[in-house]
Amino acid sequence: MSERALKRVLLALGIVFMLVFCLTPFIYMIVVSVSEKPDFLSAAVDFSATLANYRDVLAVRSLHFLDYLRNSVAIGGLVALITGGIAALSAYAVSRIEFRGRVFVPLAVLAFSMFPQISVVGYLYKLMRAAGLINTYPALILPYIAWTAPLAFWILLSYMTRIPRDFDDAAFVDGADRLTIFRKIILPVALPGLISAMLLVFIAAFNEFLFALMLTSDHSARTVPVGIALFEGLHGEVPWGYIMAASGIAAFPLIVMSLYFQKFVIQDVTRGALKG
């Protein structure tokens, strides 16, 4: 066999392995979610398709999946808005104003972005309990803002650093102040960066598990990941059909969002922040 043919065979095998490896669990999840009996892979059970799992998960109130979904979307949306605003303001300052702490603040933010969640969650619980906020939206929104701000800040910083300072200077000559320049000139130019930062923040907040597990106790504030992790059936057995249907509903929009934005975001971050 020629070297070229060998390479083609290896490549084809590699592609098949890659696709099987990456997609099998996802396809399995979807198949189980539309199966009447989730144990259809055992010898005695046949597969038959149904949409009942999706219908029940969305319609049976005592499963509370819609509550979890509403909580997750509301919390994730609010966190994305607030974090986006906070991060844009600070990235603007660091990217174009000389001040003490201009180098220290971004590095400290980055260093603290890598804290393990376990090292704050116990004390957060005590703080939130003292404030009477356990099992409310603010109990999750407030820590999520701090937890996602570094990511949004660094994306926006790498974005704004590439906007020429001439933009600001020209506006200065016209007598505009910093806040006006930020709102009217820089923010519109940095909008794609802001949107992708907010999207990543939303995804992070939507997926977060440990804070939500510790700081909520029932469907009034519990989010989708905790709901799915603790899902119990109406009769006590593990309701795999429901769990996989709920998983499919939670995963689908996230896959679409991530795939749509990942290329753009990652190129941006690696080009701006890592290579310097």
Three-state DSSP at 88 gives: helix
x/- letters, 31..70, toward another protein (CB under 8 A): -x-----xxxxx--x-------------------------
- Burial of 76: CB neighbours in 10 Å, binned 0-12, 13-18, 19+: buried
41-45, Cβ contacts within 8 angstroms, sequence gap of 24 or more: none
| Subset of residues 216 to 255 that bind another protein, contact rule: CB under 8 A | 224-226, 228-229, 240, 243-244, 247, 250-251, 254-255
CB of 178 to another protein, least distance (A): 5
Q: Single out the segment in contact with another protein by CB under 8 A; choices: 28-36, 49-57, 130-138, 186-194.
A: 28-36
Instruction: Estimate to the nearest angstrom the gap between the alpha carbon of 233 and the chain centroid.
Output: 27
Amino acid 166 reads D
Position 258 contacts another protein (CB under 8 A): yes
| Subset of residues 107 to 136 that bind another protein, contact rule: CB under 8 A | 107-112, 114-127
CB of 221 to another protein, least distance (A): 17
Instruction: Provide the token pair at 14.
Output: 């590699």
CB of 198 to another protein, least distance (A): 15
- Quick one: 60 or 108, whose CB is closer to another protein? 108
| 19 Cβ contact list (under 8 Å, min separation 6) | none
d(CA 84, CA 87): 5
Q: Which of 47, 50, 164, 172 binds another protein (CB under 8 A)?
A: 172
| Subset of residues 189 to 218 that bind another protein, contact rule: CB under 8 A | 206-207, 209-210, 213-214
Instruction: Provide the token pair at 183.
Output: 């709102």
- Angle formed by the axes of helices 137-161 and 118-130, nearest 10°: 130
